[in-house]
Chains A and B, each alone.
Chain A
Amino acid sequence: MAAPESLSSGAGAVLVAPSRPAQTVRVSEHTVEVVSDPGEGAQKCGQIFGQVSARMGNGVWTVEIIPAEIQPPPRLPEGASGNRIRLGSGPVTNWGDETNLVIAFNEQVLLARHRVGALATDAIVFLEDKWASSEDPAIRKAWSAALSELETGNPGYRIRLVPMEAQCHELTDNPRKGKNMFALGMLAWIYDRDLELISEQIAHAFRKKSPEVYQQNLALVQLGYHWAERELDFRIEVPASPARKPLVVMNGNEALGMGAIAAGMELCSMYPITPATSVSHYLSEVFERFGGIVHQAEDEIAAVGVAIGASYAGKVAFTITSGPGLALKTEFLGLAIMAELPLVVVDVQRGGPSTGLPTKVEQSDLLAALFAQPGDAPRIVLAPATIEECFHVMITARRLAEAFRTVVIVLSDANLATGVTPFPRPSLETAWQAEPPELGIGPDQRPYGWDPETGLSRRIAPGQLGGMHTLTGLSHDEQSKVAYSAGVHQRSTAMRSRKLATLQGLLQPPPLYGEAAGDLLVVGWGSTKGAIEEAVDRARSEGLRVSALQLRFLSPLETGLKRIFSRFERVMTVELNYSDEPGDPGITEENRRRGQLALLLRAATLIDVDCWTRVPGEPLRPGSILRAIRARLAQGGAA
């Protein structure tokens, strides 16, 4: 980003006296953060700014900065809460690298962002100034220590102190609750946002509150706007290009919920777990209008049990969870697979194992989704790669679950769940909502009339005349009769497995991003797509022969992978899970633990697939991936 010259008035300087007149700096992208203690509304400020920017035609990717606690003590680095908005002239597919401009409500949350390396070395920093003159000597001391750490840590920050609360006092007795709108006003002036659209978004955001609340918030926005106009000598322009197609803007969890509605599903059975729960918040608000309900069960096990009961009795139901909940549902998933009941399970992944990082992203549930099951239990595993795909994956998941009479696990993650970006408005089809296609009594009335070629059979639901049988999780024959004989178990296990081969036969080779041959192929899955492809773009512009491949089907894998891989000198997965790095202490080629997709691809292709993976509790940055690409290529030689 081009630095506004007028702000570069010395390394680490605390700017107090802007010069005039305001100069507009034009950039192709800019990343903004608003960060506060929880409950101070930085998230709302950031969300509205992102939505307005999207409506104005900018590419936008918004992520939440969330602490694990609801109300941690104030002024603690670990309580940092807010929103990060990456604006672009074109589409923005991921959260990007470092932040260029930050508004911080206290120095401790700013420090938190500095310490995790979130801020660009030349970041413009707006910091609430009231803490410097606090009556509490401990706060004054913490302030001085923090500013000193920031200045020595990175002399490049351009820090501007802002009397946010003092300004807000003009309009409210509780400026702590109002300064988020003041900050929104500042951003509105800096980025020249449409105040009419801001007004509309505020009206929407506070639609459940009184008109006075709306008026008050709008006045605070104007206060911040005019303050910035008066005090700042720069503006930033990220040229926008109005969309040619109609767009919608939402986060991945809203897209999942809306996708479930579009798929005609009518029961979401769940138990609260971060970061999946907001799917149910969204659905609880709207689902009944669509003839559906959210059932909040007594635990994760009951949640999937109710979904299985409902699926058995008709249209497929779905359950949403995250890693710990997926673990609890394991036995029931085995039953659904064994009894060939359709079921859709959404796992919005977070850091693990155990309670792990409840609010932060990771892709560590892949192997659990694929294999965490005693006994042989083939299931379908899908991974949406974008927020738009979160919508469409639910339609695919329902169709596959019913057509293949099995469990479909959808692996989303906290990055997609909380990221907000515009995407083309879906063109709805009523066919997505059709009644279960395979239900019906076959001529021979067998509950498992397996086609030996495909493993497929027609499902029978209770109520159907002539279809009575007892479904069981015990090994069973085509009539659903309990059968312990080796021959029957061999055959029925083969039939359940064959369904995956049948599905794979219907899949196409995945599309390559970039050239079909080269020195390095980067393979990812799920939400890393945008960051990987951006890194590959940058690498190619440096002359590196790199392409990318994003897998949406993890079970069964898409076809042709071995052939695709063989055209590259090296193949490397990039994943948000743990792997040992070659060269780590004690790590050898023999004992190296690899990324989860890498492990899978090595087994599936017998190609020496390398990996570069991290578990930072945040999405991968394109810049980090680019450095990994450079480093791997610098090692040279075929894999």
Chain B
Amino acid sequence: MTGLCTLPGCGDAGGLDEHEYTLSEYEGARARWCPGCGDHSILTSVQRLLASEQLVPEQTVFVSGIGCSSRFPHYLNTYGFHGIHGRALPVATGIKLQRPELSVFVVMGDGDCTSIGAAHWVHTLRYNPDLTALMLDNGIYGLTKNQTSPTTPQGWVSNTQPHGSWLPALNPLSLALGVTNASFVAQTAEWVPAHLFATLRAAYRHAGFSFVRILQRCPVYTPALYQRAIQDPERIRLLVHPDGIAVPELAKLYRAQITHDPADLSAARQIAELDDAIPLGLLYRNASRPRYEVVRRVVPRTASERAAALETELDRYAV
């Protein structure tokens, strides 16, 4: 893996000129999600992020799996990879290994990430490649029409568990914070756009695997999932700290705040385990964790260097 792009037509020409990308230049096909779907709000925030960070569209790849949220790349004007269910993270890791210079985002649903793709989620947290991963968590399988997901609250009625979900929901924050070498874990919500945007920006700017759980409602199957928190801001715990995600305008709305140093892993784990409130903010960040594509970086070789070294290698096997 050379980490250099020598492909024809590639290069940073898009970034070298003085062109300033506008919001509309990041817009792809018209989104076909249901009206009222939280995905729309997240798409808008992502487009804002791309514009505010002036990401070169050709140098940006959105990788997704399968599910409502995985249609995401189609609605952006960047490179997109709409793959198979649960497997967005290995694909994104492969892209990053081959081409570390690209900005690579991953968009997954809760089924994608925490169920069928759970192994990849755990291990990508540990590999810590420089990817920005968004887990759009509406607590239900929507595209396949209302089946229980690992993050569906206990007791919630679905087509596959009509007597209510049998088990307590999986806690993605606790799990992510439990993985060795995890380097960025944050939680935000689709109905708090200012916080969503600030979180996405912090995630993008983090060098390493940024895992962002975005709480989201499905207007058809889980419209009331976060109703109590939406109606009663006291149920939200805004994480505040000079090193955290600063959204000053929210201070008045969310007065239940926790001062939390994102370098404090054990405090982060306690916050993740709050059972009567929803934390929003940066739980953990550690920019010094080893990143896979960095530790695996090797010196690039030309064809003739390789051929010469292979001759030496063949000598070892010569009869």
Beyond known contacts A248-B319, A306-B90, A439-B7: 17 more, CB 8 A cutoff: A55-B319, A204-B316, A246-B318, A261-B310, A293-B296, A298-B120, A308-B90, A309-B97, A310-B95, A334-B84, A428-B311, A429-B307, A435-B6, A462-B79, A465-B58, A467-B9, A473-B82
**Residue among A292, A306, A441, A473 making CB contact with B93, cutoff 8 Å:** A306
- Distance between Cα atoms of A317 and B79 in the complex (Å): 20
Please name the residue on chain A nearest to B2 by beta carbon: A291
Binds B, one of A264-272, A365-373, A625-633: A264-272
Given contacts A250-B317, A292-B1, contact A315 B299 (CB under 8 A): no
Offer 13 A-B interface pairs, CB within 8 angstroms, sorted by A: A261-B306, A290-B306, A301-B87, A302-B119, A305-B94, A313-B99, A314-B98, A332-B87, A425-B318, A462-B58, A462-B95, A464-B8, A468-B80
- One of B1, B10, B79, B99 near A291 (C-beta < 8 A): B1
Tell me which residues across on chain A come within 8 A of B96, comparing CB atoms: 309
* Number of B interface residues in the complex (CB < 8 A): 66
A470 pairs with B318, CB closer than 8 A: no
A-B complex: 8 closest residue pairs judged by Cβ atoms? A309-B94, A305-B90, A470-B80, A291-B301, A298-B123, A463-B10, A309-B91, A306-B94
Distance between Cα atoms of A468 and B6 in the complex (Å):
18
A262 vs B59: C-alpha distance when bound (angstroms) = 30
Cβ 8 A contact of B317, one of A254, A266, A335: A254
Q: Is the CB of A308 within 8 A of B313?
A: no
Q: Which chain A residues (554-575) contact chain B, with CB distance < 8 Å?
A: none
- Distance from A204 Cβ to chain B, minimum over Cβ atoms (Å): 8
Residue of A nearest to B308 (CB): A428
CB neighbours (8 Å) of B95 from chain A are: 309-310, 312-313, 462
Contacts of B81 in A (CB 8 A): 309, 312, 470-471
- Using known A-B contacts A293-B298, A297-B90, determine if residue A470 contacts B74 with beta carbons closer than 8 Å: yes
The answer to whether B319 touches A249 (Cβ under 8 A) is yes
**Is residue A194 within 8 Å, beta carbon to beta carbon, of the partner chain?**
no
**Distance between Cα atoms of A286 and B63 in the complex (Å):** 32
Interchain CB contact under 8 A, A290 and B301: yes
Question: B126-170: which have CB < 8 Å to A?
Answer: none
> Contacts A299-B119, A314-B99: A290 and B310 contacting too (C-beta < 8 A)?
yes
| Minimum CB–CB distance for A391 against chain B, Å | 10
Cα of A264 to Cα of B307 in the assembled complex, Å: 9
Could you give, for residues 457-491 of chain A, a 1 whenever the CB lies within 8 Å of some chain B CB and a 0 otherwise?
Answer: 00001111111111111100000011000000000
Contact of A472 among B6, B57, B82 (CB under 8 A): B82
A426 to B29, CA, bound (A): 51
- Residues of B at under 8 Å CB distance from A? 1-2, 5-11, 13-14, 28-29, 57-59, 61-63, 73-74, 76-84, 87, 89-99, 101-102, 119-120, 122-123, 296, 298-301, 303-304, 306-307, 309-311, 313-314, 316-319
Within 8 Å CB of A429, what residues of B? 307
Find chain B residues with CB under 8 A from A462 CB. 58-59, 61, 79, 95, 99, 102
A291 touches B298 (CB 8 A): yes
Q: Please report A residues at the B interface, Cβ cutoff 8 Å.
A: 54-55, 204, 243, 246-250, 254, 258, 261-262, 264, 266-267, 269, 286, 288-293, 295, 297-299, 301-315, 317, 331-332, 334-335, 422, 425-426, 428-430, 433-436, 439-441, 461-474, 481-482
Q: Are B98 and A309 in contact (CB under 8 A)?
A: yes
CB-CB under 8 A from A309, the residues of chain B are 63, 81, 90-98
The chain B residue sitting closest to A441, CB to CB, is: B9
Nearest to B300 among chain A residues (CB) is: A291
- Counting chain B CB atoms within 10 Å of each CB, the highest count among A286, A308, A312, A313 belongs to A313
Contact B94 A430 (CB under 8 A): no
B7, B61, B76, B87: which contacts A314 (Cβ < 8 A)?
B7
CA gap between A434 and B304 in the complex, in Å: 11
**Cα A289 to Cα B43 with chains together (Å):** 43
Contact B7 A464 (CB under 8 A): yes
Q: Does B314 contact A425, Cβ atoms closer than 8 Å? A: yes
A463 touching B5 in the complex, CB below 8 Å, given contacts A299-B119, A430-B304, A468-B58? yes
> B7 is contacted by which of A267, A299, A463 (Cβ under 8 Å)?
A463
Chain B contacts of A299 at CB under 8 A?
119
Residue of B nearest to A309 (CB): B94
Closest residue of chain B to A254, judged by CB? B317
Name the distance in Å between A429's Cβ and chain B's nearest Cβ.
Answer: 8
